[in-house]
């Protein structure tokens, strides 16, 4: 099992009769599943099925889906509507006369201007009947399915690379935790000496201090300097990360939360460290954890 990335790109092209089209799907990081759909005028009816196709395949990511339809030579051919042209000429003349009556100057009427008026030029292609329209929509949706499957494949391929990177980072964290445990064990002898010095200082500071109070103070000092709990939790988090890396996606949110827990324990380890070596290991842990969290932001 590998992770899925939230980044990817896929496209699909097809044609039917005089029409050709291209679907383009782009995916980037997002907290949830954010769909942005760009459909040409007259194809808005595809939106529910487009959403359903993407929601069935993806759980997280900012996905932009666009459909670009190109008309063939037959579809693009335009014809002059003589009735529309006559109406446009008459309307333009009336507007010119009204402007002159108001004392306004007007530019000469041009053919280019007339041709820009809606209804003067019309498409030479006949409107498809209901059966043809349904067949065209089915073909459009089929190519959409191909593009959506391509996006899933692209995100999975990127996820394989993420899996390798994050696995290596978890390995490095585990190595540093083992080093931290060894360093903490090695300093235990010195820690006992420091505790004895603190005990002597406490006795000198208050000769009337009870044995119970002394025991409480020593226990508090020992707790403040003991990092075994942090190391145990870091070890448990490493095991949790390895488990998540083999779970069925999506696991991005869980990994992100685990990175926060890793960072919390590393911070505590650094704050309780009484040796230069353990501090170095704690800082190295923080660096790797930050790098891991950057990669986790791309995981679905």
Query: pLDDT tens, 164-215?
Result: 999 999 999 999 999 999 888 776 566 666 666 766 776 676 655 566 665 6
DSSP per residue, 23-58: EEEEEE--SSEEEEEE--TT-GGGHHHHHHHHHHH-
Strand order in the sheet with 19-28: 8-16, 19-28, 61-71, 33-38
Lowest mean pLDDT among 13-22, 60-69, 94-103: 94-103
Distances (CA, A) of 215 to 196, 203, 223, 227, 228: 12, 12, 12, 20, 20
Give pLDDT, residue 10.
Answer: 97
The whole-number average pLDDT for the span 246-266 is 95
DSSP class of residue 107 equals P
The whole-number average pLDDT for the span 73-102 is 76
State the Cα angle at 119 between 116 and 125, rounded to 5°: 105
Among 251, 255, 221, residue whose Cα is nearest residue 237:
255
pTM over 0.75: no
CA dihedral of residues 151, 24, 134, 139 (deg, nearest 10): -60
Give pLDDT, residue 191.
Answer: 61
Query: pLDDT tens, 16-60?
Result: 877 899 999 999 999 999 999 999 888 889 999 999 999 999 999
Measured distance CA(249)–CA(227) in Å, rounded: 34
């Amino acid at each position: 099992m590998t992770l899925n990335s939230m980044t990817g790109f896929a496209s699909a092209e097809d044609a039917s009769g005089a029409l050709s089209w291209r679907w383009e799907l782009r995916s980037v990081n997002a907290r949830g599943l954010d769909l942005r759909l760009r459909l040409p005028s007259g194809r808005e009816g595809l939106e529910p099925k487009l959403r359903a196709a993407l929601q069935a395949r993806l759980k997280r990511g900012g996905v932009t889906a666009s459909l670009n339809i190109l008309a063939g030579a037959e579809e693009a051919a335009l014809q002059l509507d003589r009735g529309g042209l006559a109406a446009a000429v008459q309307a333009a003349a009336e507007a010119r006369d009204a402007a002159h009556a108001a004392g306004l100057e007007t530019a000469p009427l041009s053919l280019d201007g007339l041709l820009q008026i809606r209804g003067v030029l019309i498409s030479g292609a006949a409107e498809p009947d209901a059966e043809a329209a349904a067949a065209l929509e089915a073909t459009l949706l089929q190519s959409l399915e191909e593009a959506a499957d391509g996006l899933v494949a692209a995100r999975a391929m990127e996820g394989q690379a993420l899996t390798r990177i994050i696995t290596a980072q978890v390995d490095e964290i585990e190595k540093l935790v083992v080093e931290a445990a060894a360093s903490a064990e090695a300093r235990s002898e010195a820690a006992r000496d420091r505790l004895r010095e603190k005990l002597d200082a406490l006795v000198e500071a208050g000769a009337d201090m009870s044995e119970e109070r002394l025991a409480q103070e020593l226990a508090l000092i020992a707790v403040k300097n003991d990092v075994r709990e942090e190391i145990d939790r870091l070890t448990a988090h490493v095991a949790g990360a390895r488990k998540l890396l083999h779970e069925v996606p999506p696991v991005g949110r869980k990994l992100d939360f685990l990175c926060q827990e890793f960072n919390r324990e590393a911070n505590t380890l650094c704050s309780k460290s009484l040796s230069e070596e353990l501090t170095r290991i704690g800082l190295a842990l923080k660096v790797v954890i930050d790098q891991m969290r950057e990669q986790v932001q791309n995981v679905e």
